[in-house]
């Protein structure tokens, strides 16, 4: 609250923040101080799912002006390296990324960001929808990497926010049937709300048994599995469930070392692909939201003012609801 208002550089904009979603990674940094090799060594501002209003533009910015409502892409390349040249800037090892040590996030009143990674929101797209483009982008990138297309049968493992956006995007991209598995009945109900055709509530089944249940409800093995938990047993179930010649995309991040039936995948030519965040997804997401082809509004279940950020983080930590949204601008009640 007492931080000075930053001054934008020539190619930056200063934003008055509006809506910022809380992500599982934010909670993990708060609780554990690290995610893999990313270690919090000094105080860090959290938040990377965000939207706001431009209040000042740098001298070199021409596509934005004060008053513009924008969604913020949190990953900004620091250099034009081979990954940037190839269109996969998310893989650049020196990329700036909000709320990944040592880079500060945007859960604050005022924030400056590269203008090229701020995208103007159409009038019919709300600030909350703008903030939800970040998790939505994970679904867009994952489903593209998976090759979802007309008629695909898709298994989504995990019904948290990322599982849900993968359901939404898979259906949008033409999936004929999507089945979702989770431990939680309430989360599976939310999956149904956003478009899942079938759900499987996992209790104490083995990975092979989960795979059999998925095949049973779908009527066939899915060509594509999107694994959103990072849990070892779920990755195993994902391999067993995926049809021969199909694709398993690993979205969820768990322990560094995982035991999986790799020979089963190898002899059945199941392709295993990873994803790291996303790239080139904001324009796609904005077009989908503006045209009302997808609806992400049901994802937001809790809202808190910035002053109650701790309460918001505690709510997320307890696993309540789906997406918790913080409102940084007390003068504006517009969602």
**Residue 331: pLDDT above 80?**
no
How far apart CA 175 and CA 167 sit, in angstroms, is: 9
Question: What are the residues whose beta carbons fall under 8 Å from the beta carbon of 75, sequence distance 6 or more?
Answer: 89, 90, 95, 96, 97, 98, 117, 277, 278, 279
Q: Mean pLDDT for the chain?
A: 96
Would you call the peptide bond into 102 cis, given omega within 30 degrees of 0 as the criterion? yes
Burial class (CB in 10 A: 0-12, 13-18, 19+), 58: middle
User: Of 265, 263, 251, 209, whose CA–CA distance to 233 is shortest?
Assistant: 209
Amino acid 37: pLDDT: 86
What residues are paired with 113 via a beta bridge?
13
pTM comes to 0.96
User: Of 176, 184, 140, whose CA–CA distance to 159 is shortest?
Assistant: 184
**Residue 62: pLDDT above 70?**
yes
Q: Tell me the Ramachandran region of residue 30: left when phi exceeds 0, alpha when psi lies from -120 to 50, beta otherwise.
A: alpha
How far apart CA 170 and CA 193 sit, in angstroms, is: 14
Question: What are the residues whose beta carbons fall under 8 Å from the beta carbon of 232, sequence distance 6 or more?
Answer: 254, 255, 258, 259, 260
What residues are paired with 20 via a beta bridge?
50, 326
Amino acid 36: pLDDT: 83
**Residue 207: pLDDT above 60?**
yes
Above pLDDT 70, what percent of the chain? 98
Q: What is the mean pLDDT of residues 290-307?
A: 96
- How far is the CA of 226 from the CAs of 86, 161, 272, in angstroms? 25, 13, 10
How far apart CA 128 and CA 130 sit, in angstroms, is: 5
Q: What is the mean pLDDT of residues 295-316?
A: 96
| Count of C-beta atoms within a 10 Å radius of residue 220 | 11
How far apart CA 9 and CA 31 sit, in angstroms, is: 33
Report the half-sphere exposure of 175 (CA within 13 A, side-chain side).
29
User: Of 300, 276, 327, 313, whose CA–CA distance to 137 is shortest?
Assistant: 276
Amino acid 220: pLDDT: 98
Per-residue pLDDT reduced to its tens digit, 68-80: 999 999 999 999 9
Per-residue pLDDT reduced to its tens digit, 34-45: 988 899 999 999
Tokens of 329: 């601008």
**Residue 136: pLDDT above 90?**
yes
Selected residue with higher pLDDT from 276 and 4: 276
Amino acid 334: pLDDT: 54
CA angle centred on 105, ends 18 and 87, rounded to 5°: 100
Q: What is the mean pLDDT of residues 167-184?
A: 98
DSSP characters over 237-306: HHHHHSPTT-EEEE-S---S-----HHHHHHTT-EEEE--S-SS-HHHHHHHHHTTSS--GGGEEEEEEG
**Residue 333: pLDDT above 80?**
no
1 falls in which pLDDT band (50, 70, 90)? low
What domains does the chain contain, in order, with CATH numbers? 12-120+296-327 (3.90.180.10), 145-274 (3.40.50.720)
Tokens of 4: 């000075």
User: Of 115, 158, 111, 123, whose CA–CA distance to 319 is shortest?
Assistant: 158
**Residue 143: pLDDT above 60?**
yes
Q: What is the mean pLDDT of residues 186-205?
A: 97
Amino acid 3: pLDDT: 75
**Residue 335: pLDDT above 60?**
no
Assess contact for 30 and 105: CB atoms under 8 A: no
Q: What is the mean pLDDT of residues 144-163?
A: 98
321 falls in which pLDDT band (50, 70, 90)? confident
């Amino acid at each position: 609250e007492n931080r000075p208002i930053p001054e934008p550089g020539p190619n930056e904009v200063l934003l008055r923040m509006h809506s910022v979603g809380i992500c599982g990674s934010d909670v993990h940094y708060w609780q554990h101080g690290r995610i893999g090799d990313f270690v919090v060594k000094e105080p860090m501002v959290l938040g990377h799912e965000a939207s706001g209003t431009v209040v000042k533009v740098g001298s070199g910015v021409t596509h934005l002006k004060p008053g513009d409502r924008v969604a913020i892409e949190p990953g900004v390349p620091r250099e034009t390296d081979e990954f940037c040249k190839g269109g996969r800037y998310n893989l650049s090892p020196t990329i700036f990324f909000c709320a990944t040590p040592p880079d500060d996030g945007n859960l604050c009143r005022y924030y400056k960001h590269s203008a090229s990674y701020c995208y103007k929101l159409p009038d019919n797209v709300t600030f909350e929808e703008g903030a939800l483009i970040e998790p939505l982008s994970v679904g867009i990138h994952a489903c593209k990497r998976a090759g979802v297309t007309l008629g695909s049968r898709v298994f989504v493992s995990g019904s948290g926010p990322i599982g849900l956006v993968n359901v939404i995007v898979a259906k949008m991209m033409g999936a004929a049937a999507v089945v979702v598995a989770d431990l939680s009945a309430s989360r599976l109900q939310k999956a149904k709300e956003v478009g899942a055709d079938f759900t499987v509530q996992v209790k104490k089944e083995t990975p092979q048994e989960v795979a059999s249940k998925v095949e049973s409800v779908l009527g066939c093995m899915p060509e594509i599995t999107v694994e959103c938990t990072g849990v070892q047993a779920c990755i195993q179930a994902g391999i067993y469930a995926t049809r021969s010649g199909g694709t398993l995309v690993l979205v969820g991040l768990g322990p560094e070392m995982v035991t999986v039936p790799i020979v089963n995948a190898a002899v059945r030519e199941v392709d295993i692909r990873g994803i790291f965040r996303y790239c080139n997804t904001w324009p796609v997401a904005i077009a989908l939201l503006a045209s009302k082809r997808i609806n992400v509004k049901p994802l937001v279940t809790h809202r808190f003012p910035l002053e109650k950020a701790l309460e918001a983080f505690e709510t997320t930590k307890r696993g309540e609801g789906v997406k918790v949204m913080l409102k940084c601008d007390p003068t504006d009640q517009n969602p």
